[in-house]
Amino acid sequence: MTKFIHTIIVFVLATFSISIHANSEGEAMYGALGCASCHGENGRSNDEAIPSLAGKDVEWIIQQLEYFQSGQRQNSYMNAMAPMAEGFERSIAEYLSIQDPQR
């Protein structure tokens, strides 16, 4: 019985830490790559020339990053920034999608 409870506890902790990790990677990369310096903390931009990303659809964000990477969408800042997000598009998009667009 003790072993059974132990197994359950380990399982719950493992599941919990995996889900925390999935969100924090996107959050960490959003900060580390400097996205936050333009798009604002938690994806809420303070500058009207820069779009807010909080609460946007995951697939849509990934698509925009791919358009900037391929040059299909042109913006001098984003054509430079998007390639740096390579490999992290989904985790960053997932992090942004669950941020509250309201302050």
Residues near 23 by beta carbon (within 8 Å), at least 6 away in sequence: 94, 95, 98
- Applying CB under 6 A, among 42, 64, 69, 99 the residue interacting with ligand HEC is 64
Binding region for ligand HEC (CB under 6 A) out of 3-11, 18-26, 50-58: 50-58
Distances (CA, A) of 28 to 3, 9, 31: 36, 28, 5
Question: Rounded distance, CA 21 to CA 37, Å?
Answer: 23
Residue 72 contacts ligand HEC per CB under 6 A: no
Residue 78 contacts ligand HEC per CB under 6 A: yes
Q: Site residues (CB under 6 A) for ligand HEC? A: 33-35, 37-39, 49-51, 53, 61, 64-65, 75, 77-78, 81, 84-85, 92
